Amino acid sequence: MTTLTVLGIETSCDETAASVVRRYDDGRVEVLSSVINSQIAEHAPYGGVVPEIAARAHVESIDGIVARALSDAGVTWDDITGVGATAGPGLVGGVMVGLSFGKAVALARDLPLVAVNHLEGHAVSARLGADIPYPFLLLLVSGGHCQLLEVAGIGACKRLGSTIDDAAGEAFDKIAKSLGLPYPGGPELEKLAVGGEVERFPLPRALLGRKDYDFSFSGLKTAAARAAVGLTSDIDRRDLAASVQFAIARQLAERTDMAMADYRMRHEGRDLRFVVAGGVAANGAVRDRLETLCGKHGFSFHAPPLKYCTDNAAMIALAAAERLALGLSDPLDAPARPRWPLDQAAASANPTHVPGRKGAKA
């Protein structure tokens, strides 16, 4: 095996991102550059991501972003030994832009290509900051996904549970919108919630008493939207934001609590590791609650550095590097996939898990 220097490309939603990651023989990882061009300003007037605008913006900026990733890393094309591009799940117009770019680079430079599953990127993202060995229990919580997975290694994920409607980040965003906060609402809602009374507004506890590890946020979203109507005082809005954040963190913790108890039984005598990843992993209240849970069950707690919680290309480059190190790569006709579950078997067995209007991205 040799040292790998991989270019990663991410265009599955509203961030055009490129990164160069080096993976050494012994598994050590170094992020040489991570460039992210957010399209937030372009989508802001519409209160959410507009797929056509996103795809066009990716086309306009991708070559400049990749060039900057190389120059920030202090490398040239001659130093790159592989390319990884997100091939799904996500908004397919954007995915096609990044994947086509990656294919063109692979063809022109005669490099191996990895068509990366965006969720696998999130799954390895904590490994960008620390050496976290497999296996681990993973809570993947972002704008499009909310699931508990057992990660035994690259390409070996077992889904334990998933949202039956909205993702947690989607709930944060929609409730934030009801409170008049700009998109993306998660971080704005977290700011508004500071110092608020977390149990002032009683919000529903979904799926309580169920023995599986699924999530549901649509009831909470509706209740919060109703409570937001007519709230004008800063204190009321702050308390509602705090109550919402508390209720979302509580549900994430309640389901993870049960999954940890089960995982612990099945991994007796082994080191227990828990990873939370995805945009919502940036939320302090969510992290605190999950960290406490880890203490209760004897798990070590891991989360990516904040800059690698939300979408980035370093996690895509690392997922590609880990695949290349195992001798895995993809052909140049690898398709762009709007839907692409990490655990295909679980998704096929449970097709009712179709979250939100965005469809079954996960």
Which residues are near Zn ion by CB under 5 A?
142, 311
For 345, residues 6+ apart whose C-beta sits below 8 A from its C-beta are none
Q: Return the residue of 48, 51, 129, 187 that touches ligand KG4, per CB under 6 A.
A: 187
**CA-based nearest residue to 16, from 91, 78, 83, 72:** 91
Q: How many CB atoms lie within 10 A of CB 297?
A: 16
Task: State the minimum distance, in angstroms, from the CB of residue 296 to ligand KG4.
Answer: 23
Helix, strand, coil abundance in the chain, percent, nearest 5: 45, 20, 35
State yes or no: residue 173 binds ligand KG4 (CB under 6 A): yes
Candidates 34-42, 69-77, 130-138, 139-147 — which segment interacts with ligand KG4 by CB under 6 A? 139-147
Candidates 58-66, 136-144, 258-266, 295-303 — which segment interacts with ligand KG4 by CB under 6 A? 136-144
How far apart (Å, rounded) are the C-alpha atoms in residues 105 and 6? Answer: 12
Tokens of 218: 């649509």
Q: Residue 12 or 329: which CB sits closer to ligand KG4? A: 12
Contact call for residues 139 and 275 (beta carbons, < 8 A): yes
Binders in 299-358 for ligand KG4, by CB under 6 A: 310-311
- SS3 of 97, please? helix
State yes or no: residue 13 binds ligand KG4 (CB under 6 A): yes
Task: State the minimum distance, in angstroms, from the CB of residue 8 to ligand KG4.
Answer: 15
Task: State the minimum distance, in angstroms, from the CB of residue 122 to Zn ion.
Answer: 6
Task: State the minimum distance, in angstroms, from the CB of residue 228 to ligand KG4.
Answer: 17
Contact call for residues 240 and 179 (beta carbons, < 8 A): yes
In the complex, which residues of this chain contact ligand KG4 (CB under 6 A)? 13, 142-144, 169, 172-173, 184-187, 190, 278-280, 282-283, 310-311
